Homo-oligomer: A and B are copies of this chain.
Amino acid sequence: MVQIPNTPTSADVARLAGVSRATVSYVLNNTSAVRISEPTRRRVHEAARELGYVPHAGARSLRAGHSRLVLMPAPAIPMGPLYNRFINELQWALGRLDYTVVQYGSVGLRGDEAARAWAELRPVAVLVPGAEMGPGGVQVLKRSGARAVVTLGPGRVEGAHALLMDHAAVGHCAGAHLYERGRRRIGVVLPEETALEAYSRPRLAGVRQALRGTDATVTELPLAYTEEAAARLAARWRESGLDAVFAYNDEYAMLLMRALQDEGARVPRDVALVGADDLMLGRLLRPRLSTVHIELPSGRDLAELVDRAVRDPGGEPEVRKVLGASVVPRESS
């Protein structure tokens, strides 16, 4: 007998086990309201295994009126090992709570167009990193059944829970640290990649805030992530008169440190340098790179927040500050 490779349904399982579809559902979902005899259970499980039966998530959520799907737009730019660990932890924790976590590539869609695409999947919750969603988007998602929308980013959005990742704190740390070290003419590297502006602007603002009311000055230093750009920036060094730089993150800091050293600048004597993200590689430079260590929330905590929000969709949107920043002084500052 040739197996037709049609997708087996619960009806097929029922037929093979000699029971009704309802019974199959009861057995496979361990429905506690109904008691099924042990032999029957065994027959059903056996049949399901034999056919390679896999339930149809779409049909299930159609029937149930809601899914267990948690949608998380994938950030277009790689966010570094730290953020990656956070995401993995979150996925794991949500998995433990029996949610299905899925990352949706948001490339090419923008604004509320993206929200509509996501809404088609009828997620029960949506986690939005960055600042790419407006109130309209939240509206669309909630209207289509999302019981919780959580933003992970610099600001809050009407109707959504917010995990405030205030990158100004990162800049603030760095600025205060450099001031303490006696630096007064401070440059701040701004990556030219526009996708990073959502983070670089707040970090710059943080530096400014830390130095407000002091005699220190802040200079913006736009920089593309290439050796040539770094060399050009370093060449203008002496005339700029800066005595310190906060370099957005460790990668830009490493790039700039090299270029400065090639120009003959002594780090930290002539110019202090601070990065951010606490990458392993920063420790390999000579001098070792000072950096701002960033603390993300634990994935378990966020998973709990999501779960609570899903269970109580009416509750007030929760707003929580979650980004910890602290200077790790090493040798470059």
A38 interface residue (CB < 8 Å to B): no
Residues of B contacting A76 in the complex (Cβ-Cβ under 8 angstroms): 88
Copies of the polypeptide in the assembly: 2
Q: How many residues of A contact B (CB 8 A)?
A: 58
**Which of B96, B105, B142, B225 meets A280, CB within 8 Å?**
B225
A219 interface residue (CB < 8 Å to B): no
CA distance A95 to B104 in the complex (A): 11
Given contact pairs A5-B142, A52-B140, A62-B58, A108 touches B81 in the complex (Cβ within 8 A): no
CA distance A135 to B122 in the complex (A): 32
Residues of B contacting A119 in the complex (Cβ-Cβ under 8 angstroms): 54
Smallest CB-CB A-B distances: 5 pairs: A58-B58, A91-B105, A103-B103, A258-B284, A57-B120
A145 interface residue (CB < 8 Å to B): yes
Q: List 8 A-B contacts (CB under 8 A).
A: A7-B144, A8-B143, A54-B140, A55-B120, A58-B122, A59-B62, A100-B117, A101-B104
Residues of B contacting A58 in the complex (Cβ-Cβ under 8 angstroms): 57-59, 61-62, 67, 121-122
CA distance A102 to B108 in the complex (A): 14
| Nearest-Cβ distance from residue A172 to partner chain B, whole angstroms | 27
| Nearest-Cβ distance from residue A247 to partner chain B, whole angstroms | 13
| Nearest-Cβ distance from residue A57 to partner chain B, whole angstroms | 4
**Which of B107, B116, B142 meets A92, CB within 8 Å?**
B107
A305 interface residue (CB < 8 Å to B): no
Q: Is B100 a contact partner of A103 (Cβ separation < 8 A)? A: no
Q: What string of 1s and 0s marks CB contacts (under 8 Å) between A20-62 and chain B? A: 0000000000000000000000000000000010111111011
Residues of B contacting A92 in the complex (Cβ-Cβ under 8 angstroms): 105, 107-108
CA distance A139 to B3 in the complex (A): 13
Q: What string of 1s and 0s marks CB contacts (under 8 Å) between A225-236 and chain B? A: 111000000000
Residues of B contacting A95 in the complex (Cβ-Cβ under 8 angstroms): 105, 107-109
CA distance A100 to B71 in the complex (A): 13
Q: Which of A235-269 contact B (CB under 8 A)?
A: 251, 254-255, 257-258
A298 interface residue (CB < 8 Å to B): no
Residues of B contacting A105 in the complex (Cβ-Cβ under 8 angstroms): 87-88, 91-92, 95, 101-103
Residues of B contacting A225 in the complex (Cβ-Cβ under 8 angstroms): 280
Q: Which residue of B lies closest to A96 (CB)?
A: B108
